[in-house]
Amino acid sequence: MESPVNKNIIHIDKISVYRKKILVLSQLSLEIEGGEFVYLLGKTGSGKTSLLKTLYAELPVEEGYARIADFELTKITTKQIPFLRRILGIVFQDFQLLTDRSVNENLEFIMRATGWRNTERMEERSLEVLTMVGIPTKGFKMPHELSGGEQQRVCIARSLLNNPPILLADEPTGNLDPDTSRDILKLLHLINQSGTTVLLATHNHYLIDEFPGRMVFLDRGRVVKGAERE
């Protein structure tokens, strides 16, 4: 299938996705331009996490067409998946930090896994991304020594290590109090203003008026509103 000619960094056309033979996304279509900030909204179980997992190739696309940047998800091979994930920043609700390693060691682990070799440059980059997220002095802390908001900032710092053009965030404020959630949303919008495309899945609507973006609504694995830009 030929890739459509357009300026969208994410192009999805009528995909159906299964998890353990259960249909989780049904005939879903969505287009996102580079530099957009998009909220993926819907109740728990509406398909938000499944869509993000599809975009970083944890769930395969078996029907339809899907492209993210220059990667066609309908054709992607196992060898290509690490290269896809290098252009993606991924932020999880449950942080997924290595609990037996310091913040700096968590960041170093990701850099080594994605091909970094220069120790001095890795140390510099760790400080750069921790400074970007507002915790430049926390590199030597262990995850359990940080607050929930600080741990999420580490996760965002980790997602920025390779200067990804796209950031996928799955309920990044789900375990945080309202004030901390506001700080995290503000940070993600600042990252977006630098040119990074942000796709943020959430079921919380209360901060959207303060931090606006395009809203895409999912229900039962389908986009029900917001697939097309106004």
Task: Please count the structural domains in the chain.
Answer: 1
Q: How far is CA 141 from CA 123, 124, 138, in A?
A: 15, 17, 5
Note whether residue 28 is domain-resident.
Answer: no
Note whether residue 229 is domain-resident.
Answer: no
What's the pTM? Answer: 0.90
Note whether residue 183 is domain-resident.
Answer: yes
What percent of the chain has pLDDT above 90? 73
Note whether residue 11 is domain-resident.
Answer: no
Note whether residue 63 is domain-resident.
Answer: no
Question: By residue range, what is the domain housing residue 53?
Answer: 35-58+82-215
Note whether residue 70 is domain-resident.
Answer: no
Query: Which pLDDT band, with edges at 50, 70 and 90, does 205 fall under?
Result: confident
Note whether residue 222 is domain-resident.
Answer: no
CATH, residue 184: 3.40.50.300
Note whether residue 20 is domain-resident.
Answer: no
Q: Please give the radius of gyration of the chain, using alpha carbons only, rounded to the nearest integer.
A: 17
Q: Residues 6 or more apart from 126 whose CB is under 8 A from it?
A: 104, 107, 108, 111, 139, 157
Closest Cα to residue 10, out of 80, 77, 61?
61
Whether the per-residue pLDDT at 142 is higher than 50: the answer is yes
